[in-house]
Structure 1
């Protein structure tokens, strides 16, 4: 009997990608405000497009990171609301 570890690897990769994007969103909102969302859009669309042209596990990983970038658009807007509520620090050096 041959074991298939791809599903477990994808699960672990998903967890790591989600965990990695939380601080990325927080830092991007802190330093650049929510106006950085178009970069997440471009990165997400490019990664999803790249996933169409490769095969196997790498395609899945590209798609996971691409979707995480797209999801970060929503999260960065919510992070701005959390900052406005005082739950996270506001960058005092940022003009806007």
Structure 2
């Protein structure tokens, strides 16, 4: 894949566009995961990130290796964003899931 894109001088542009799309997809995923599962889903993103790094090390093609790297570190970034999203919900910037228990300070209350 990267050979074809390199010949036409499109490799960097294509990686940039795909990076933009990957990051754009992770934004609503973060919001939805926090809404439905709270912060307890952070380890899913850790596993995804580690799998992506493994894939990056195993793939020879520059294009796919780059995209796996972007995917991996977007997964790692999402771990922090899940906890930040919890704070945004507590501030009222995003809706809280009324069917899920949530933390306030050290207490757990039901909405």
Q: TM-score, normalised by structure 2?
A: 0.82
Give 1:91's match in structure 2, choosing from 89, 92, 97. 97
TM-score by length of 1: 0.94
Q: How far apart in 2 are the matches of 1:77 and 1:9? A: 31
Work out the number of aligned pairs and report it.
95
RMSD between aligned residues: 1.0
Counterpart CA distance in 2 for 1:71 and 1:45 is 12
Matches within 5 A, 1:53-64: 53-56=58-61, 57-64=63-70
**Unaligned segments of structure 1, at least 5 residues:** none
Higher relative contact order (CA 8 A, sep 6+): 1
Q: Please list the CA deviations of residues 36-83 of structure 1 after superposition, one character each: whole Å capped at 9, or x if unmatched.
A: 101100110111111100022111111111110000001111000000
Which consecutive unaligned segments of at least 5 residues does structure 2 have? Answer: 1-6, 103-111
Deviation at 1:4, TM superposition (A): 1.5
